[in-house]
Amino acid sequence: MKVAFFSAKQYDINAFDAANDGGIDFTHLHPSLDLRTCVLAEGHDAICVFVNDTLDAATLEEIQKLNIKYIALRSAGTNNVDLKKANELGLKVVSVPAYSPEAVAEFAVGLMLTVIRKYHKAYARVRDSNFTLTGLEGFNLQGRTVGLIGTGKIGMCVGRILAKGFQSKVIAYDIKRDEKAAAEAGVEYVDDLDTVLKNSEIISLHAPLLDSTKHIINADALRKMRDGAVLINTSRGGLIDTKALVEALKSGKLRAVALDVYEGEEAYFYQDSSDKVIHDDLLSRLMSFHNVFISGHQAFLTHEALAGIAETTIKNLLQLHAGEECPNEVKA
């Protein structure tokens, strides 16, 4: 089975080489997948893609013309794929629904601590031999109310870490409740999103990006949040209306924001732009705020998560190639 592996990074290659017993012949391609680069998949049975590869209707049509049969996502999210079009074209799509949720959850809590206790500012000061503490005041997580939007495996893991480890009060909203897991984690469900927005001192996003969740944090939601709240996003950039977020930051509404994802990230994330001009004015504006911390979509990046992604992706592909039913197939 020949698979064109787009957006290949060395850590991907290492993880997949370790998990592959020779059943799949991967062609590692550094470019991301889009309408211009899909021709690189010619001669392969399948493509393997990541979160910022573009699989819109036009790209999928070209992929189908190249006799590609399968699309393997190295992610849980499928928002970058036109699933309806893929189904119409007879392209089977598989994903990795779970891969070390602890990796992302621990990173999310790390972001909370970073912006609340200002580790990044302290590090920069000490590097310049400045050991003053003025402006580095933070607050305890113990006893604080943290709101979760989304309680899948990652969200619930964040709740457990905060409730059991930091003794925070954790409330959550999700249209699908897992009452048993919530009780075990110390998470309390509330009846509506507004309750989370109005009562949380820290809000952490853990929802998939769907039509119903796009810009779930918009101008109205930001107005409902408590003054001085902290906002964390390790899920998908499109959950936040960036223009509204910038306005909220300019007004002083929020104490701090930490983002591992950004709705326009595909133009910059996973590449070195240090010698280029950032043309995205919203991203540049976010980077200018003293109380905003941005990382480059790295929450998943642990040895355990990479190994899980590789093992599941390879199993998905082999099941499809053998004509077997794959439990991780995604349909519109």
Give the pLDDT confidence of 161-172 residue by residue, as tens digits: 999 999 999 999
Residues 131 and 252 in one domain: yes
Residues 75 and 116 in one domain: no
pLDDT of residue 99: 84
> Of 201, 263, 265, 266, which one is the catalytic site residue?
265
Residues 145 and 279 in one domain: yes
Helix or strand (DSSP H, E) at 194: helix 193-199
Task: Tell me how far the alpha carbon of residue 239 is from its chain's centroid.
Answer: 10
Residues 116 and 258 in one domain: yes
> Of 74, 215, 226, 297, which one is the catalytic site residue?
297
d(CA 64, CA 88): 11
Domain tally for the chain? Answer: 2
pLDDT of residue 84: 96
pLDDT of residue 211: 92
297 is catalytic: yes
62 is catalytic: no
Q: Chain-wide mean pLDDT for the chain? A: 96
Using CA atoms, how far residue 253 sits from 139, 146, 157, 232, 244, in Å, is: 17, 17, 28, 15, 11
Which range is least confidently modeled, 190-194, 239-243, 328-332? 328-332
Q: What are 46-63's pLDDT values in tens digits?
A: 999 999 999 999 999 999
Residues 113 and 199 in one domain: yes
Q: Provide mean pLDDT across the span 255-264.
A: 97
pLDDT of residue 16: 97
Task: Tell me how far the alpha carbon of residue 20 is from its chain's centroid.
Answer: 25
Residues 79 and 148 in one domain: no
Residue 95 is assigned to a structural domain of this protein: yes
Nearest Cα to 299, choosing from 241, 235, 239, 208?
Answer: 235
Determine if the pTM surpasses 0.85.
yes
Using CA atoms, how far residue 144 sits from 58, 269, 322, in Å, is: 48, 32, 52
Q: What are 54-112's pLDDT values in tens digits?
A: 999 999 999 999 999 999 999 988 999 999 999 999 999 999 998 889 999 999 999 99
With bands split at pLDDT 50, 70 and 90, how would you rate the model's confidence at 226?
very high
Residues 91 and 112 in one domain: no
> Of 236, 255, 263, 266, which one is the catalytic site residue?
236
Residues 239 and 310 in one domain: no
Which residue range forms the structural domain that includes residue 89? 2-99+303-322
Residue 332 has pLDDT above 90, yes or no: no
Q: Are 77 and 51 in contact (CB under 8 A)?
A: yes
Residues 150 and 175 in one domain: yes
d(CA 130, CA 70): 55
Residue 328 is assigned to a structural domain of this protein: no
Residues 273 and 167 in one domain: yes
Residue 329 is assigned to a structural domain of this protein: no
pLDDT of residue 98: 82
Residue 330 is assigned to a structural domain of this protein: no
Helix or strand (DSSP H, E) at 141: none
3-state secondary structure of 229: strand
* CATH code for the domain of 63: 3.40.50.720
236 is catalytic: yes
Residues 87 and 75 in one domain: yes
The rounded percent of the chain whose pLDDT value lies above 90 is 96
Residues 94 and 131 in one domain: no
